Amino acid sequence: MSERDSYYGRPILKRPTWTWEIPLYFFFGGMAGASATVGTVAEIAGDDDLARRAWAVALGGMVVSPPLLISDLGRPARFLHMLRVFKPTSPMSVGAWILNAAGATITLGVARTWFGRIPTIGKASHAAGFMGPALSTYTAVLVADTAIPVWHEARHELPFVFAAGSAMSAGAAISLAGGGAPARRLALAGAVGELASSAIMEHRLGPLIGEPYRQGRARRFARAAKALTTAGAVTMAAARGGRRASAAGAALMLGGSLATRWAVLEAGRQGAADPRYVVEPQRARA
């Protein structure tokens, strides 16, 4: 048996069957969650204009997310079946309930800011501020709760990568919607956080387990993510509030956040396909 083969020449782990909808779902769901938190904080602080724009971005991300997830599942009934029971030990079950709860509270938040202060739904809409971080990060827990080493061994860093990327994409999208300086500051902080947490994650994974990020499609997406995020942050920071340059920086950061999600997916696929990433770390630990 060669170093790269398992018994009968088959991989030890099954490759993820997720399709292109899942990175987009990670991206739009994270953006919606972070935007909902911004909308809640802005509303409590009395910045109604920022709140309206943030809730609009959150609603846009929330409208897109369920169809993407259902499209990957193949049939709407499969998504409904996940809601029959609540299993705290299953990230998939918890995530389905988070998605539904976030959708309901974001809808209330949009109704509150668009149609006036409605006392009966005011406190309920503020719950979206607490659901937002969960919506932004549960997908990182979902991929880390697998046997694929490049995902599982990054379980401590992936939530920070996804949280920072969600903050960056939310800030960039709200900035494009006219959110002003607060949105730009959020986007810049998220960009720094994503670059730093991604670097820490890849360093801690080490030369072997982290190798998928330096090969194939994962490498291309990871390099694109870093380049787009860095270019977007520099452009937005140098713009000093200039509309066109800020918009260009925001667009670049949105592309960087999406590319990061795609790099994570591709790294998992490549890491599952090669038995070496499973066998050699086990031998080293033994």
In sequence order, the 6+-apart residues with CB closer than 8 A to the CB of 122 are: 112
Q: Residue 9 falls within a domain, yes or no? A: no
pLDDT at 1: 39
**In this structure, what CATH number is given to the domain that contains residue 226?**
1.20.1630.10
- Structural domain span for residue 102: 16-285
In sequence order, the 6+-apart residues with CB closer than 8 A to the CB of 96 are: 79, 82, 83
Residue with tokens 């800020």: 246
**113 or 141, greater pLDDT:** 141
C-beta separation of 245 from 239 below 8 A:
yes
Nearest CA-CA partner of 268 in 18, 3, 7: 18
Q: Residue 58 falls within a domain, yes or no? A: yes
pLDDT of 2 above 50: no
Q: Residue 256 falls within a domain, yes or no? A: yes
Q: Residue 2 falls within a domain, yes or no? A: no
At 55-111, the pLDDT tens digits run 999 999 999 988 888 887 777 666 666 667 766 766 677 767 787 778 778 887 787
**pLDDT-wise least confident of 78-92, 132-146, 174-188:** 78-92
**278 or 25, greater pLDDT:** 25
Which ranges in the chain belong to alpha helices (H)? 21-45, 48-73, 76-81, 91-114, 119-144, 149-152, 158-176, 181-209, 216-239, 243-273, 276-285
pLDDT at 155: 92
| Distance from C-alpha of 185 to C-alpha of 239, rounded to nearest angstrom | 12
Q: Residue 227 falls within a domain, yes or no? A: yes
Q: Grade residue 273 by pLDDT with cuts at 50, 70 and 90.
A: confident
pTM of structure? 0.87
Q: Residue 239 falls within a domain, yes or no? A: yes
Q: Residue 7 falls within a domain, yes or no? A: no
Q: Residue 264 falls within a domain, yes or no? A: yes
Question: How many structural domains comprise the chain?
Answer: 1
Q: How far is CA 15 from CA 95, 142, 147, 170, 267, in A?
A: 21, 15, 11, 31, 11
Nearest CA-CA partner of 211 in 150, 264, 156, 159: 150
- Please report how the helices 119-144 and 158-176 are oriented relative to each other, as an axis angle in degrees rounded to 10: 130
